[in-house]
Amino acid sequence: MVKEREFIYPRPNPQASLRLFCFPYAGGAAAAYYTWVNYLPADIEVCAIELPGRGTRLQERPLTSIESQAEVIFGGIHRHLDKPFAFWGHSMGSIIAFELARRLSRENGMLPAYLFASGRQAPQLPDKYPPAYNLPEPELLQELRRLNGTPREVLDSPELMQLILPILRADLQAIDTYTYSPGAPLECPIMALGGVRDAEVDSEGLEGWREQTTDSFSIRMLPGDHFFLHTAQPLLLKIISQGLQRIMTARHGV
């Protein structure tokens, strides 16, 4: 494993044809993606993004805006773009990936070969729910139980929750205060993914991502709730693999 602040390679592979950057959901860490290398094709290299305040950067202050999260990644990502790359993001990570892709396109003329936007409605759509980051602790814990993404043993441990809550509040603040700025659509394929039982994001919200690309667009609904990326992981990684392999085949003209 190679760790470099924001960029962690669970299994470095210099011979890989494509690099898949994986962006975290609220409260999530890069470790959520470490096992993906065991199921993706060998020519896809995983680079998991580690934001301040979690995982290997637990002692750092978490960031409270999508803009600042994208900024710290943008500042170091260029030396990791030495081969074709794709972006995957879940929930908060979808918006970070989207804003980073827009900035790379605007300032560097670079684009991911594919953007996978998971568990998040299109950025131009208004939020369906009121902000949660400033809820009193009992109400916030209730919201976390509803989302079903935090292990029960963590929710039931006051000690662990005192470590995690500042990170969750910072990430929720980043999501809840995000403001979309209209801009040109991306010129790369976008796949929007959702869970069929996700109360946060429905197919209409996912359909909105179509406006954000001039290239191909598709929607995939998977079994599960908001955290289907864990419960339906084998199917999810098969879908990602197929999408990336189609892109790589097209690039090589095969």
Q: Is 196 within 8 Å of 206 (Cβ atoms)?
A: no
Give the integer Cα–Cα distance in Å for 24 and 178: 16
Give the integer Cα–Cα distance in Å for 234 and 248: 21
Helix (H, G, I), strand (E, B) or coil at 7: strand
Nearest-5° Cα angle at 253, 248 to 254 = 85
Catalytic residue among 17, 65, 68, 91: 91
Q: Is 208 within 8 Å of 237 (Cβ atoms)?
A: no
Give the integer Cα–Cα distance in Å for 108 and 237: 29
Q: Is 91 a catalytic residue?
A: yes
Give the residue numbers annotated as catalytic, written as ranges.
Answer: 91
